[in-house]
Structure formats: C-alpha cells, structure tokens
Amino acid sequence: MLELSIPSSVYSPSDDTGMLAQDALETVLPNSSVLEIGTGSGAVILSLAATKNKFTKLIAVDIEPAAVEAAKKNAAANKISSVKFVISNLFDSLPTNSKFDFILFNPPYLPTADLDKVKGSLNSALSGGPDGLKTVRKFLADAGQHLSSGGKILMIVSSLQPKDKLEELLQKHHFTYRSLSSKSFFFEKLEVWELSSV
C-alpha cells in the first residue's frame, strides 16, 4: 500500500482513482512508456511505479502546481524515483514529438455550471464544463499525436456525461473504445474505457 499525504487543495483519491489504478495495473505492459494526465496526488502512477515491473518512461502531469508538489512528496515518501512529475495543462509542457505506449487520464467529468464551481485549485480536478466534456474535448484533440503505434488510452468516463457526444468525439478523433470495468453508485455509473487509435 502506498503512503499518501494529500493537502486539501489536491483531489483526494476516490473510487475513480482506484478503478483507474487497478485497470492500469492489469493492462499496462512492462517495458512500456506511460503518461498520466491529471495525476493529482500521484496515486495512479505511483501504484504502477511501485510494482516490480520495469518501464521505459513514467511521466505524470497536472495543471496545478500544488498537485505536482504533493505527488513529488508522495513519491519521495514511498521511495519511488522513477516517475518524472511536470506542471502541464494536458500535453502543453511536453515535447510535441513525445509518444507513449499508455496514457492514463481521470478527467474532470462533472457537468458544472458557473454557479456550481468550487473555489480554488480543486475546480480543475472536478469541473467538466456544462456537459462534463470540456477537458475531454481538448484531451482527445491532441492525444493521438502523443500515442505510440498500437498504444492505448485508459480514461475514466461517467454516466453524467452525454455518451452520444463522447462517442462522436471519439469517432472524430479516430478512436475506438471498450469498457474495462464499471462501478455503479446511486447517482452515476463510472467506467474505465480503453481507447485505441483506428
């Protein structure tokens, strides 16, 4: 088990984090390169790094400096030095030619009107815009150019997001998907989708 310290300004690992971490552990192959977008406390990428598997590259980014700082501290607390943490809005701070075998993403997926937004840095981890797909749209527009040939994306999807719009987006950016796992709650259903380039 990882030892995680999470300040109040950073998204605390929840069911979605656990699902993504579990599916990543079962899906990500040894000797592959891995990028996690929106790492938060670092729980998902550090779960991978803590295994006996060797990876060619482990990079985790977050738009919030506080999250990157927390993830670095959590890596140090667990004696993990194989992950590089970077402040980045999605792919913006990465070299344009960087490619990965696996990209992990737990996006802000809650549909939120302006009045619903939480104050401070946590908003970037929660607010998905009016339909819950605001950040996903930007992500899918650029994800393909950072995916190795045959690479996979593991992404959290919520039933609160309009599935027809999401499927249209995937089609537009030439991705197919399959559901790896799901968990139902009284107000929503969460899934981990594996996306592949067509």
**Quick check: 161 pLDDT over 90?**
no
Please give the single-letter amino acid code of residue 181: S
Q: Taking the CB of residue 134, how many other CB atoms lie within 10 A of it?
A: 17
**Average pLDDT for 3-10:** 87
**Quick check: 17 pLDDT over 70?**
yes
Q: What is the pLDDT of residues 46-58, one digit of tens each?
A: 999 999 899 999 9
Position 188 scores a pLDDT of 86
Position 66 scores a pLDDT of 92
**Average pLDDT for 104-133:** 63
Q: pLDDT-derived band of residue 117, with 50, 70 and 90 as boundaries?
A: very low
Beta bridge partners of 61: 37, 86
